[in-house]
Chain A
Amino acid sequence: MFLQQLLNGLTTGSVYALIALGYTMIYGILGLINFAQGEIYMCGAFVAVLLLATGKVNFYLAFAAGMVAAALLGVALERVAFRPLRGAHPLVPLISAIGASIFLQSLALLLFGPNDRPFPIQFTFSTITVAGLPLSTLQGAILAAALGLMGLLMVFVRYTRYGKAIVACALDRDTARLMGINVDRMVALTFFIGSALSGAAGVMMAIYYNATYPRMGLLPGLKAFSAAILGGVGNIPGAILGGLLLGVAESLGAAYVSSGYKDAIAFAILIGVLLLRPQGILKGRGD
């Protein structure tokens, strides 16, 4: 039972971690919270679900399309709601992002209606026993995919030219420009990558809970933000750790404390972290 809950928590936690990476990367480079991250997640899920519902697209292609659509939405969002406001008081882009978030949510509501959509294809998932632990292959697949994407991101940031350039912009924008790095392009690239990860998270959750709906981004967005704070906002390994910890805490809390207030657990953790250690578990910005 305990191990099962732990596994459930790791599964949802790995998805929170993917969204938290988007928050943390964008915060790292712009010093701003992208309030519409949850809507980008929702967009990824909808694009994949709608494509699959046509019956003409295979699963992997739909998954990739969800990620790309989310990434493009992120880039567009940066152009419209963030870039024109660079240099203004930090309240201004914050409120503008809130506006964008509401806009996207209500646009989805108008286009797709308020009801849950089931995931269009039925997977047959079995339960296998690994070391005496019943493991659903669905959870295994989500966990593997999420960890794989995180690994790719770490490799990208640490070992590629553009990854290092993004970190350089986050650390010291002017000096990065002196290296010939185009900061605007790096910001766009950051939004692209962070949003693609959120889009992937959206598709995974659409499968896991078998539900896609316009407001689906609100709670995961809030929880992922808490995860990013927990790990130290701006810190990439911190966001991953924070997401996993939060998922586990939520799952154990729901099982052993109260299931009615499951969604409140992340929030309680957020307040606790802000009170006790606002810089998060792993400090710092940048890499």
Chain B
Amino acid sequence: MAAYLLHLAILAGIYIILAVSLNLIIGYAGQVSLGHAAFYGIGAYASALAALHWHFPFPLAALGAMLVTGGCGLALGLPTLRLKEDYLAIVTLGFGVIVDLVFLNLEVTGGPDGLVGIPSPRLLGLSFRPQPLYLLLVILAVFLVLGFTYLLVRSYHGRALRAIRDHETTAQVMGINTPAYKIVIFSLAAALAGLAGSLYAHYITFINPESFGLHTSILILCMVVLGGMGSIIGSVLGAIALAVLPEMLRQFQAYQDLIYGALLVALLIWRPEGLLGRGKLSLKFLTRG
């Protein structure tokens, strides 16, 4: 039982990183990504391959994964982020499909079977294989990510981002280079998703394409919308709720996606600020006529 709770806590931590990073894209760049699970997957595969083939230590493998996913984000964001919201959503959806196809078809990714025997992290001679230690590692990562996000959002750049989200044209007139900001934030968020992928791969030690499909992207999106777009605390709570709830409602597993889909529509109609959003935390702009 304790092991199971630790397992849930570790997964929740990984989801927190995913939700917070997607929320950077939604709440601060005003865009929707449906390929977040693809970045997560690329991170997981890149980190696993670096460890398996080149015997990279975990910190280097994770860093490499972040660089790779950040680069993918940059490549994907450059052509699309100058355009309307819808384009990024569709392009990232397509990206997810292609990445899935690549994982399935490439030899080096092991096709549908994926990769096995991914080593657990070792730091200073200490193995992080035991769950409590791994949980500590995840918590450390979550705090680093939250701290980084908090500083980013509070900084001058964060104010610029909010200006872009609320009034893109005005922001442009004020001399903010809006496409550049959006591209940077998108690729940062992709890098953070890569970190989450790396943490997942080295914890679970075997990965296959199934974990990184559209289903997972939607799950992350639900976490963000549930918690409130633009609210970091909201994303943390949304991630914990949706990581834990499905485990408690096992008998409804077949209905999971059905519920998530309905949840998205219903939330946006009745409570676009999210369940936990209120006042300052929420994005009033989303409901403004």
Contacts and interface: CB of A to CB of B under 8 A. Distances in A.
A33 interface: yes
A223 to B, nearest CB: 9
Given A96-B264, A106-B257, A270-B91, A91 B26 contact: yes
B37 to A, nearest CB: 13
Contact of A99 (B90, B93, B214, B261): B261
Contacts of B26: 91
A93 B225 CA distance: 13
A264 B265 contact: no
Interface stretch (B78-86, B132-140, B202-210, B241-249): B78-86
B101 A261 contact: yes
Contacts of A106: 255-258, 261
A55 B21 CA distance: 52
A121 B83 CA distance: 45
B84 A99 contact: no
Interface in A263-287: 263-264, 266-267, 270-271, 274-275, 278
Contact of A96 (B105, B255, B265): B265
Interface string A81-95: 100110111111111
A92 B265 CA distance: 9
A267 B264 contact: no
Main SS of chain B's interface residues? helix
B250 interface: no
Contacts of B229: 91
Contact of B34 (A87, A98, A261): A98
B94 A267 contact: yes
Contacts of A96: 264-265, 268-269
Contacts of A208: none
B265 A80 contact: yes
Interface in B54-95: 78-80, 82-87, 89-91, 93-95
A99 B264 contact: yes
Contacts of B261: 99-106
A98 B272 contact: no
A107 B286 contact: no
B1 interface: no
B221 interface: yes
Given A88-B287, A88-B289, A219 B79 contact: no
Interface string A47-83: 0000000000000000000000000000000001100
Contact of A91 (B30, B80, B93, B98): B30
Interface in B212-255: 214, 218, 221, 225, 229, 254-255
Top-5 shortest CB links A-B: A99-B264, A103-B261, A102-B261, A106-B257, A33-B86
16 contacts: A35-B89, A89-B30, A90-B86, A91-B26, A95-B225, A96-B265, A98-B32, A98-B34, A100-B264, A102-B257, A222-B94, A229-B87, A263-B98, A270-B94, A271-B79, A271-B91
Interface of B: 26, 30-32, 34, 78-80, 82-87, 89-91, 93-95, 97-98, 101, 105, 214, 218, 221, 225, 229, 254-258, 260-265, 268-269, 272, 285-289
